Amino acid sequence: MTHRSPFSAQIVGTGTYLPEKILTNKDLEKTLETSDEWIRARTGIEERRIAAKDESSSTMAVKASLQAMKEADVAAGQLDMIIVCTSTPDILYPSTGCFVQKGLGAVNAAAYDISAVCSGFIYGLSIAEQYLKSGRLETILVVGSEVNSRIMDWEDRSTCILFGDGAGAAILKRTETQSPKGILSTHIHSDGSKAEMLCVPGGIGRERISSLAAEQKQYTLKMAGGATFKSAVKRMTEAAIEALEFNGLVKEDVSLMVPHQANKRIIDAVAKHLDLPLEKTFVNINRYGNTAGAAIPIALHESREEGRVKDGDLVLITGLGAGLTWGSALIRW
């Protein structure tokens, strides 16, 4: 017998922050053997944002969070927990979450990071959902923030064209009575046997940071593009179907799919496998590239700003990241 919680976990505010600097495909043509036409055709990306020298994952997260808090009418002191989803923390420790807590003045919140890269926000939603539906906590901030530009090899045209910087945030609140609105379910998975498919191989705990490793560019992102593409299409589709079946729903019930923004061809392939019309799929990768853990919350916020998400709509979220990690969430707005 399935136990149904008397509580719901609802997203009551969202926010974003995008750095001012724009790096276009035309800019990349000046330093790489590539072209605007090739990048657009292969990825759907036209430009991406690059953090300023004085910006970091924590500073961007604070700005996105403040916007979400304003919409939700939530003060810093009301936050019970801060979950920062990032693969580019400010420093090794303390956590970026603690810097965000300080920046917000959220003195009552437990704060920490999770590292699931592009799946990070889904993992964060899953954690928040459990705390809220159990009745343990009342208000949680989940924020994805990434400075991918700091871990790029800017001579590797296969990877550096793909990524950008930014932050997206969501405020989740517990509602005291069972409601048809809110997070219906979250589903998370991982496969560590494919860890080398997408990684930053330079060691910290396994081996010391070294100048030799830096010279060999071991602290920059490495990716097996073809294999990652195939895994993303397969796992994102599976996770989306899992969420629908778990809730006894079908694709026709979906108002909008907000997928991870890694590659326009991946998004199109997932929509095709789900037999979901492209007009029911939100895409903003052309403007920002892949912002990893920030991509889904940025897309979620912008879809709401554009009027693509209305009261009562069913929103399907799905994504895959390094680990490999992947997952989905189904939300009744």
Q: What is the mean pLDDT of the chain?
A: 96
- Same domain membership, residue 256 and residue 199: yes
Quote the number of domains for the chain: 2
Contacts of 211 (CB under 8 A, 6+ apart): none
Is 77 part of any domain? yes
pLDDT of 176 over the 90 cut: no
Q: Residue 76 sits in which domain range?
A: 8-175
> Is the pTM here over 0.85, yes or no?
yes
- Same domain membership, residue 214 and residue 131: no
Pick from 282, 285, 243: nearest CA to 259: 282
pLDDT of 5 over the 80 cut: no
Across the range 226-235, mean pLDDT stands at 97
pLDDT of 118 over the 70 cut: yes
Q: How far apart are CA 284 and CA 289, in angstroms?
A: 8
pLDDT of 248 over the 80 cut: yes
Pick from 86, 88, 84, 60: nearest CA to 151: 88
- Same domain membership, residue 283 and residue 228: yes
- Residues belonging to the active site: 118, 260, 290
Write out pLDDT tens, residues 232-241.
Answer: 999 999 999 9
Contacts of 165 (CB under 8 A, 6+ apart): 18, 19, 48, 49, 50, 51, 55, 60, 146, 147, 148, 149, 291, 294
Pick from 324, 265, 321: nearest CA to 291: 321
pLDDT of 133 over the 60 cut: yes
Is 1 part of any domain? no
Write out pLDDT tens, residues 289-327.
Answer: 999 999 999 999 999 999 999 999 999 999 999 999 999
- For the domain that residue 39 is a member of, what is the CATH number? 3.40.47.10
Is 271 part of any domain? yes
Is 3 part of any domain? no
**How confident is the model at residue 8, as a pLDDT?**
93
CB 54 within 8 A of CB 90: no
- Same domain membership, residue 124 and residue 165: yes
- Same domain membership, residue 284 and residue 136: no
pLDDT of 3 over the 60 cut: no
pLDDT confidence tier of residue 1, bands split at 50, 70 and 90: very low
Across the range 237-254, mean pLDDT stands at 98
